[in-house]
Amino acid sequence: MRFAVMASGRGSNFQALIDAHARGELPGAELVLLIVNKRDAQAVARAKAAGIPWAFIDSEAMPRAEFDRRALAVLRDCGADAVVLAGFMRLLTPEFIAAFRYCILNIHPALLPNFPGAHAHRDALAAGVSESGCSAHLVDEGVDTGPIILQQPVEVLPNDTEESLAARILPHEHRLLAEAVRLLAAGRLEVDGGIVRILPEK
Protein backbone atom coordinates (compact mmCIF):
# COMPACT_ATOMS: atom_id res chain seq x y z
CA MET A 1 0.00 0.00 0.00
CA ARG A 2 1.40 3.34 -1.08
CA PHE A 3 1.19 5.97 1.68
CA ALA A 4 1.53 9.72 1.29
CA VAL A 5 2.12 11.87 4.36
CA MET A 6 0.81 15.40 4.90
CA ALA A 7 2.53 17.60 7.48
CA SER A 8 2.66 21.25 8.52
CA GLY A 9 5.58 21.47 10.94
CA ARG A 10 8.48 19.61 12.46
CA GLY A 11 7.36 16.19 11.21
CA SER A 12 8.31 14.06 14.20
CA ASN A 13 5.49 11.62 13.47
CA PHE A 14 6.64 11.50 9.84
CA GLN A 15 10.14 10.67 11.10
CA ALA A 16 8.69 7.92 13.27
CA LEU A 17 7.18 6.34 10.17
CA ILE A 18 10.47 6.67 8.27
CA ASP A 19 12.29 4.97 11.15
CA ALA A 20 9.67 2.22 11.54
CA HIS A 21 9.88 1.51 7.81
CA ALA A 22 13.68 1.38 7.97
CA ARG A 23 13.43 -1.17 10.80
CA GLY A 24 11.16 -3.37 8.70
CA GLU A 25 8.15 -2.75 10.94
CA LEU A 26 5.80 -1.64 8.15
CA PRO A 27 5.60 -4.63 5.81
CA GLY A 28 3.38 -3.92 2.84
CA ALA A 29 3.62 -0.16 3.33
CA GLU A 30 5.65 2.21 1.16
CA LEU A 31 6.16 5.92 1.93
CA VAL A 32 5.93 7.53 -1.49
CA LEU A 33 5.41 11.26 -0.92
CA LEU A 34 5.36 14.09 1.62
CA ILE A 35 3.06 17.08 1.10
CA VAL A 36 3.63 20.18 3.21
CA ASN A 37 1.47 23.30 3.33
CA LYS A 38 4.04 25.51 5.10
CA ARG A 39 7.17 26.60 3.26
CA ASP A 40 9.34 26.34 6.39
CA ALA A 41 8.05 22.91 7.52
CA GLN A 42 10.91 20.94 9.04
CA ALA A 43 9.35 17.76 7.70
CA VAL A 44 10.89 18.60 4.30
CA ALA A 45 14.42 18.07 5.63
CA ARG A 46 13.34 14.67 6.94
CA ALA A 47 11.95 13.71 3.52
CA LYS A 48 15.15 14.82 1.79
CA ALA A 49 17.29 12.83 4.23
CA ALA A 50 15.20 9.71 3.62
CA GLY A 51 15.05 10.16 -0.15
CA ILE A 52 11.26 10.58 -0.16
CA PRO A 53 9.80 12.92 -2.80
CA TRP A 54 8.02 15.97 -1.43
CA ALA A 55 5.72 18.72 -2.63
CA PHE A 56 4.84 22.14 -1.25
CA ILE A 57 1.32 23.49 -1.74
CA ASP A 58 0.86 26.90 -0.16
CA SER A 59 -2.34 26.77 1.88
CA GLU A 60 -2.16 30.51 2.54
CA ALA A 61 -2.31 31.32 -1.16
CA MET A 62 -5.61 29.69 -2.07
CA PRO A 63 -9.03 28.68 -0.72
CA ARG A 64 -9.34 25.37 1.09
CA ALA A 65 -11.17 23.69 -1.80
CA GLU A 66 -8.44 24.68 -4.27
CA PHE A 67 -5.71 23.42 -1.93
CA ASP A 68 -7.47 20.07 -1.63
CA ARG A 69 -7.94 19.82 -5.42
CA ARG A 70 -4.24 20.40 -5.96
CA ALA A 71 -3.30 17.94 -3.23
CA LEU A 72 -5.57 15.29 -4.72
CA ALA A 73 -3.97 15.79 -8.13
CA VAL A 74 -0.49 15.31 -6.63
CA LEU A 75 -1.67 12.23 -4.73
CA ARG A 76 -3.15 10.72 -7.88
CA ASP A 77 0.06 11.40 -9.77
CA CYS A 78 2.14 9.47 -7.22
CA GLY A 79 -0.35 6.61 -7.04
CA ALA A 80 -1.09 7.00 -3.33
CA ASP A 81 -3.52 4.48 -1.84
CA ALA A 82 -3.72 6.08 1.59
CA VAL A 83 -2.84 9.32 3.40
CA VAL A 84 -1.31 9.88 6.83
CA LEU A 85 -1.84 13.22 8.56
CA ALA A 86 1.28 13.79 10.67
CA GLY A 87 0.82 17.12 12.37
CA PHE A 88 -1.14 18.48 9.42
CA MET A 89 -2.90 21.52 10.86
CA ARG A 90 -5.64 22.01 8.32
CA LEU A 91 -9.15 20.64 7.85
CA LEU A 92 -9.80 18.64 4.72
CA THR A 93 -12.85 19.08 2.52
CA PRO A 94 -15.52 16.38 2.23
CA GLU A 95 -14.41 15.87 -1.40
CA PHE A 96 -10.87 15.03 -0.30
CA ILE A 97 -12.09 12.67 2.42
CA ALA A 98 -14.45 10.92 0.00
CA ALA A 99 -11.54 10.28 -2.37
CA PHE A 100 -9.73 8.30 0.36
CA ARG A 101 -12.67 7.04 2.42
CA TYR A 102 -11.34 5.17 5.49
CA CYS A 103 -7.82 5.40 4.08
CA ILE A 104 -6.79 8.63 5.86
CA LEU A 105 -5.04 8.14 9.21
CA ASN A 106 -4.50 10.78 11.87
CA ILE A 107 -2.82 10.81 15.27
CA HIS A 108 -4.35 13.06 17.93
CA PRO A 109 -2.75 13.88 21.32
CA ALA A 110 -5.77 13.08 23.52
CA LEU A 111 -8.10 10.22 24.30
CA LEU A 112 -10.84 10.94 21.78
CA PRO A 113 -13.66 11.81 21.86
CA ASN A 114 -12.23 13.98 24.67
CA PHE A 115 -10.37 17.17 23.74
CA PRO A 116 -10.56 17.31 19.94
CA GLY A 117 -9.05 20.20 18.03
CA ALA A 118 -5.73 22.03 18.02
CA HIS A 119 -5.26 22.57 21.78
CA ALA A 120 -5.70 19.10 23.26
CA HIS A 121 -3.02 19.42 25.96
CA ARG A 122 -4.24 22.83 27.09
CA ASP A 123 -7.82 21.60 27.20
CA ALA A 124 -6.89 18.46 29.17
CA LEU A 125 -5.02 20.48 31.79
CA ALA A 126 -7.83 23.03 32.02
CA ALA A 127 -10.33 20.23 32.61
CA GLY A 128 -8.26 18.82 35.48
CA VAL A 129 -8.33 15.24 34.19
CA SER A 130 -6.02 12.65 35.72
CA GLU A 131 -5.42 10.92 32.39
CA SER A 132 -4.88 11.98 28.81
CA GLY A 133 -3.06 10.19 26.00
CA CYS A 134 -3.30 9.79 22.24
CA SER A 135 -5.55 8.25 19.62
CA ALA A 136 -4.88 6.92 16.14
CA HIS A 137 -8.04 7.23 14.08
CA LEU A 138 -9.49 7.27 10.61
CA VAL A 139 -10.49 10.70 9.34
CA ASP A 140 -14.06 11.68 8.55
CA GLU A 141 -15.68 15.03 7.86
CA GLY A 142 -15.66 16.16 11.51
CA VAL A 143 -12.84 17.53 13.67
CA ASP A 144 -11.15 14.47 15.20
CA THR A 145 -14.43 12.54 15.11
CA GLY A 146 -13.45 9.62 12.86
CA PRO A 147 -13.45 5.94 13.91
CA ILE A 148 -10.81 5.21 16.55
CA ILE A 149 -8.21 2.53 15.80
CA LEU A 150 -5.86 2.57 18.80
CA GLN A 151 -5.48 4.57 22.01
CA GLN A 152 -2.82 4.89 24.71
CA PRO A 153 -3.61 6.51 28.08
CA VAL A 154 -0.95 8.64 29.78
CA GLU A 155 -1.16 9.90 33.36
CA VAL A 156 -1.46 13.66 33.87
CA LEU A 157 0.86 14.68 36.70
CA PRO A 158 -0.02 17.43 39.20
CA ASN A 159 2.77 19.73 38.00
CA ASP A 160 2.31 19.10 34.29
CA THR A 161 2.51 21.91 31.75
CA GLU A 162 1.37 21.69 28.15
CA GLU A 163 5.00 21.07 27.18
CA SER A 164 5.71 18.32 29.73
CA LEU A 165 2.47 16.50 28.98
CA ALA A 166 3.10 16.73 25.24
CA ALA A 167 6.63 15.37 25.69
CA ARG A 168 5.38 12.28 27.55
CA ILE A 169 2.60 11.59 25.06
CA LEU A 170 4.69 12.08 21.90
CA PRO A 171 6.55 8.71 21.98
CA HIS A 172 3.19 6.96 22.21
CA GLU A 173 1.96 8.97 19.21
CA HIS A 174 4.92 7.70 17.22
CA ARG A 175 4.26 4.08 18.17
CA LEU A 176 0.48 4.16 17.62
CA LEU A 177 0.70 5.89 14.25
CA ALA A 178 3.18 3.34 12.93
CA GLU A 179 1.01 0.50 14.22
CA ALA A 180 -2.08 2.02 12.55
CA VAL A 181 -0.19 2.24 9.24
CA ARG A 182 0.88 -1.39 9.61
CA LEU A 183 -2.69 -2.53 10.27
CA LEU A 184 -4.13 -0.56 7.36
CA ALA A 185 -1.45 -1.82 4.97
CA ALA A 186 -2.19 -5.39 6.06
CA GLY A 187 -5.90 -4.98 5.35
CA ARG A 188 -6.75 -5.58 9.00
CA LEU A 189 -8.99 -2.56 9.63
CA GLU A 190 -12.71 -2.94 9.09
CA VAL A 191 -15.22 -0.16 9.80
CA ASP A 192 -18.71 -1.20 10.82
CA GLY A 193 -21.20 1.42 11.97
CA GLY A 194 -18.43 3.91 12.77
CA ILE A 195 -16.52 1.36 14.87
CA VAL A 196 -13.14 -0.04 13.83
CA ARG A 197 -12.60 -3.76 14.11
CA ILE A 198 -8.99 -4.97 14.01
CA LEU A 199 -9.07 -8.25 12.11
CA PRO A 200 -6.78 -11.15 13.02
CA GLU A 201 -3.64 -11.71 11.03
CA LYS A 202 -4.15 -13.80 7.93
Task: Say whether 174 is catalytic.
Answer: no
Count of other CB atoms within 10 angstroms of residue 45: 13
- Asked if 86 and 67 count as a contact pair (C-beta separation under 8 A), the reply is no
H-helix segments, 61-197 = 64-77, 94-99, 120-127, 162-185
Q: Identify residue 76 by its one-letter amino acid code.
A: R
Choice among 108, 121, 137, 172 that is catalytic: 108
117: left (phi over 0), alpha (psi -120 to 50) or beta: left
Helices (H) and strands (E) in the chain, counts: 6, 9
Taking the C-alpha atoms of residue 123 and residue 117, their distance in angstroms, rounded to an integer, is 9
Task: Tell me which residues are annotated as active site.
Answer: 108
